[in-house]
Chain A
Amino acid sequence: MLTLTSVTKRYGDTVALDNVSLRIAPGEFFGLLGPNGAGKTTLMSLVAGLRPADAGDIALAGQSLAASAATGRGQLGLVPQTIALYLDLTAEENLRLFGGLQGLRGDELSARVEEAFTAAQLADRRHARVKTFSGGMQRRLNLVAATLHHPKLLLCDEPTVGVDPQSRNAIFEYLQRLNREGTTVIYSTHYMEEAERLCSRIGIIDHGKILALGSLDELLTRLPFEDEIAFPATAATEPLRAPLAAQGELLATNGTLRFRPRAGYPLSAFFALTESLGLSPRLFASQRPTLENLFLHLTGRNLRE
């Protein structure tokens, strides 16, 4: 569906995208995970044709965007990071405007607007001005305004910033439905939970480079540990420190000890040790490693730093 080949983009001396190559298959729900300033929005804007790349090529459905930008634009929808709506117009006026700009007319436009209102759960507010909407309602409208023309590729640039949980779920469900119906989605976020929940494949980006690429499971195998066991740092658990440190990584944070066993260390050995010290199994919580762990492992920084 989308192929980026050695794409580079600079803003003055700053390299926003550094020789990025990426292939996204039709029907994928691709997550672009990275901190602020990593290059996510730049990548989105290059794919959307808002800016030209300084080097490399971007092809949509096999056709280079540089050669057929107009055709490409008709196949994609962009959900900007900001509320890109006319706040003084009503919800319906906004949707009719953006649908019209995408070439929809008459009954087809009306049908698509109805469809969008249903998806955004805003049918009862269609005649209200957008500036009277809550943040969540604006976000939902912001999303459906980009899908009126049923784009083959939907670019979502952090579409849930500042959204309440209810609206966030509604947005997730709508995007998952679109994806099930065949729309390819590229979803940029710095929330690992969103990427983990939604995306079939994830690219981790930082300083303009794709650091890792794959499904969630594939990415997590890059970590040198499979599970993490957390337990309170107390006098009772103090005797565990030395033997566990010899079998993996032991981190102390805020009164909690986190044990990340080296590969091949059997959990049965861990529980045999704790049982020998008379410690209750209820003190210990096993956690799967997360993308946060992976990002930390890859960059030495937290995702939200």
Chain B
Amino acid sequence: MRLVLLLLRKSLLGFWRAKAAVAITFLVPIVLIYLFGHVFGLYRKDTGPTGIPIAVVNASPDPAATQLIDALKAEKAFRIRTVTKLADGTTRPLTEADARAGLKNNDYRFAVILPADFLSAERFGLRVKFLSNPRNEIEAQTVNGILQKTIFSNVPQLLGQSLRQSARHLIGEENLTKFNRALANAYADYFNFDREETFRRLDSADFGFGDLKHLPSAKPPPADPNLRRLDTAPATTTTTAAAEKNTNDVFSKIVKIDNEQVAGKQVANPMAARMVGGYAIMFLLMAVSGSASTLFEEKSTGIFHRLLSSPVRPGHILWARFLFGILLGLVQTSVLFLAGHLFFGLEIFRHAVALLAVSLSAAAACSSFGMLIAAIAPSAAAANGLSTLVVISMSAIGGAWFPVSFMPEYIQSISRCTIVYWAVEGFTDVLWAGQSLFEVMPRIGMLLAITAGVMAVALWRFRKGKLFD
């Protein structure tokens, strides 16, 4: 037993002194728990995504449309855009054409169109058009759900408007006013409300009478066992699944939502097209950052001394390693996409040039990241630990695993500084949206800018560091 304990002590000492191992063991899980906690809303009372951009086009003159837009604006999951900025700096309301262009450009991935016949006198109910660019399956499903919830929860009020319009259409304005006046008087008298206020509410199709005050001089209404207020708790709670289904069925008949997928319809395997970018960039980072640690092996074996005593300079070694990383990344992503094509029917040849360009710029960015790790880490073990920590964190917040919009807005801002974010966007642009090389140039530009920035820091650190001592 003593021997076992001695060996155990040795293992503990060895582990504790290997700082990289300690970091991987403790820091990585903590970072991931923190990030996943944000995604699943463990730190908030109100869970769910925040700030998902939604374009809203209001083509309806009806005040009910504005009422619905206000309800959407109040939903924290959404960041509602109703105007577009013009070249002269002024704004104008979004049109459906604007929304379609924005969806195609991935300025936002969802748009709600409230058409001119949002509420129509000819029919009862609401009509809403929902346009989507479901680049991310999880995000699309979530947004759909929240959107339906928001609309349905406002149906009773919106429905009043619809009812009023239908009534006006059927019996005329004069008769409708007479009818409302008579109904308001009867209602006010029975419940002891003010007649004018009751009429005003009824005439504006506001059926929420719960906040009306009883007149002070009057007696409370007589108790009638056959009457109950509809705006308070129901007499019986039928919250069974069947009851909810019936309710939804009714709502879906009252609210007509026309769904239209604006982008990605041509994709043969949507799931694969949406997922492969995230995994590609994650594996790319792992492979390329791992290769950077071989610089330390070359140092420890004395190869650097042999090389540097020849006409080779440190710059030659670093640029060769950087180019190796790019080549490795390019081959790896090519093989990964080819496997996706063979196994899942992923369409890669239609925009092969664009895909190759994104892969190349992503590989360059990953290679520069590997160089930075090698430049700042003091040893191969530290480099491996650091790269594991950063790759996993960057994959998590960059959108490789789950939608960026599920995270708090400050993390969403950070995610835009990561290689993963821009690479995932670039791959999805090509594979999902079918964008051409020209269209995907902004993503490539961002990746190349990151590459240049990271390489500059890495080279500066190499000059200051001791890798070549």
Contacts and interface: CB of A to CB of B under 8 A. Distances in A.
Interface of A: 45, 48-51, 70, 73-74, 76-78, 80-87, 98, 101-103, 145-146, 155
A133 to B, nearest CB: 14
Contact of A146 (B301, B306, B308): B306
A86 B301 CA distance: 9
30 contacts: A45-B305, A48-B305, A48-B309, A49-B308, A49-B309, A50-B308, A50-B309, A51-B469, A70-B311, A73-B310, A73-B311, A74-B311, A76-B309, A78-B306, A78-B309, A80-B302, A81-B302, A83-B302, A84-B301, A84-B302, A84-B305, A85-B301, A85-B303, A86-B303, A87-B301, A98-B306, A101-B310, A102-B310, A102-B311, A103-B311
Contacts of B7: none
Contacts of B301: 82-85, 87
B307 interface: yes
Closest 6 CB pairs of A and B: A82-B302, A78-B309, A80-B302, A84-B302, A48-B309, A84-B306
A45 B308 CA distance: 10
B138 interface: no
Contacts of B335: none
A83 B311 CA distance: 20
B312 interface: yes
A49 B311 CA distance: 10
A50 B309 CA distance: 6
Interface of B: 300-303, 305-312, 469
A77 B311 CA distance: 11
Given A70-B311, A82-B302, 5 more contacts: A49-B309, A78-B309, A82-B301, A85-B301, A87-B301
B157 to A, nearest CB: 73
A101 B313 CA distance: 11
B302 A73 contact: no
Looking at A76, A78, A86, which has the most chain B CB atoms within 10 Å of its CB? A78
B243 to A, nearest CB: 69
A145 B306 CA distance: 9
B311 A50 contact: no
A50 B305 contact: yes
Contacts of B306: 78, 80, 84, 98, 145-146
Nearest to A149: B310
Contacts of A50: 305, 308-309
A80 to B, nearest CB: 4
A45 B309 CA distance: 8
A101 B305 contact: no
Contact of A101 (B300, B307, B469): B307
Nearest to A83: B301
Contacts of B305: 45, 48, 50, 78, 80, 84
A78 B309 CA distance: 7
B314 to A, nearest CB: 11
A266 B305 CA distance: 53
A98 B310 contact: yes
Contacts of A45: 305
B297 to A, nearest CB: 10
A85 B311 CA distance: 17
Contact of A84 (B303, B311, B312, B469): B303
Contacts of A102: 310-311
B316 to A, nearest CB: 9
Nearest to A70: B311
B305 to A, nearest CB: 5
A177 B468 CA distance: 33
B372 to A, nearest CB: 24
Contacts of B308: 48-50
A50 B307 CA distance: 10
A200 to B, nearest CB: 24
A161 B306 CA distance: 17
A42 B307 CA distance: 17
Contacts of B312: 101
Nearest to B312: A101
A236 B309 CA distance: 61
A83 B303 CA distance: 8
B465 to A, nearest CB: 14
A8 to B, nearest CB: 17
Residue in B307, B310, B311 whose Cβ sees the most chain A Cβ within 10 Å: B310
A212 to B, nearest CB: 28
A85 B303 CA distance: 6
A77 B305 CA distance: 11
A276 B465 CA distance: 73
A76 B311 CA distance: 10
Contacts of B310: 73, 98, 101-102
A293 B138 CA distance: 81
Contacts of A145: 306
Contacts of A103: 311
B295 to A, nearest CB: 13
A98 to B, nearest CB: 7
A202 to B, nearest CB: 23
A82 B302 CA distance: 6
